[in-house]
């Protein structure tokens, strides 16, 4: 049987067609963008000798393509965040008390790790509201759900709770750097909630309301 002679471009195209068949797993958008970049660079390099300007033109094109790829990845991540509602789950795998989350937050703040400090401080807020009986513990509760549920019982803090949830989601899903000012806002909210009286909708004379909600004197 005579040998089959196939050039490099034909072999490359055949491999691409084979991998595009439905039997192969579909890749993520980021993976597809990466493959598109590799494909483009492959074709440009393969035809480098015939491009006006030669390798200088190729180098400029490569830089432009790389910048476009980085922008596309950032847009894709933003789209993924939007599709998920931009709402991050509050708690991790390890269960801590409000005091432990608060201490952990202060430790991270002392190190200048504001993103981690923000996450633990809002967790301290959520855990405190659960420990004092205002909120029932709900597995998988998100930052936005916390702001909604607590805001209904504590309307005076509704705006601050929503802002705290937004900051938490930004540093957790949005890959935004944490800021000291945002952490201080969360710390002030935490302290104010700890000093606050009985929430709206609960009778101050009801015996099952925890004493920790009584005004501090």
If asked whether residues 30 and 66 sit together in one domain, one would say yes
Query: What are the pLDDT digits (tens) for 133-162?
Result: 999 888 888 899 999 999 999 999 999 999
If asked whether residues 54 and 110 sit together in one domain, one would say no
**Which of these ranges, 106-115, 173-182, 185-194, has the smallest mean pLDDT?**
173-182
CA distance 62 to 124: 48
Mean per-residue pLDDT, 46-50: 62
Number of domains in the chain: 2
Instruction: Provide the whole-model pTM.
Output: 0.52
End position of a domain, from candidates 54, 83, 112: 83
If asked whether residues 26 and 123 sit together in one domain, one would say no
Does 134 map to a domain?
A: yes
Does 167 map to a domain?
A: yes
**Which residue segment(s) compose the domain that 36 sits in?**
9-83
Given a contact cutoff of 8 angstroms between Cβ atoms, the answer to whether 121 and 146 are in contact is: no
End position of a domain, from candidates 24, 58, 83: 83
If asked whether residues 141 and 209 sit together in one domain, one would say yes
């Amino acid at each position: 049987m005579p040998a089959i002679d196939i050039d490099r471009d034909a072999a490359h195209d055949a491999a691409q067609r084979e991998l595009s068949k439905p039997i192969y797993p579909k890749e993520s958008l980021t993976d597809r963008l990466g493959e598109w970049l590799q494909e483009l660079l492959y074709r440009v390099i393969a035809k480098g000798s015939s491009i006006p300007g030669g390798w200088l033109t190729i180098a400029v094109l490569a830089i432009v393509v790389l910048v476009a790829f980085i922008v596309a990845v950032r847009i894709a991540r933003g789209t993924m965040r939007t599709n998920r509602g931009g709402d991050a789950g509050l708690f991790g795998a390890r269960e801590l008390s409000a005091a432990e989350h608060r201490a952990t937050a202060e430790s991270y703040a002392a190190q200048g790790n504001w993103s981690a400090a923000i996450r633990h401080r809002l967790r301290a807020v959520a855990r405190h509201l659960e420990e004092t009986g205002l909120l029932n513990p709900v597995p998988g509760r998100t930052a936005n759900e916390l702001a909604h549920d607590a805001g209904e019982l504590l309307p005076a803090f509704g705006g601050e709770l929503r802002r705290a949830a937004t900051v938490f989601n930004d540093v957790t899903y949005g890959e935004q750097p944490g800021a000291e000012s945002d952490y201080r806002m969360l710390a002030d909210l935490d302290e104010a909630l700890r000093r606050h009286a009985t929430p709206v909708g609960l009778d101050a004379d009801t015996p099952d309301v925890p004493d920790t909600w009584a005004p501090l004197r």
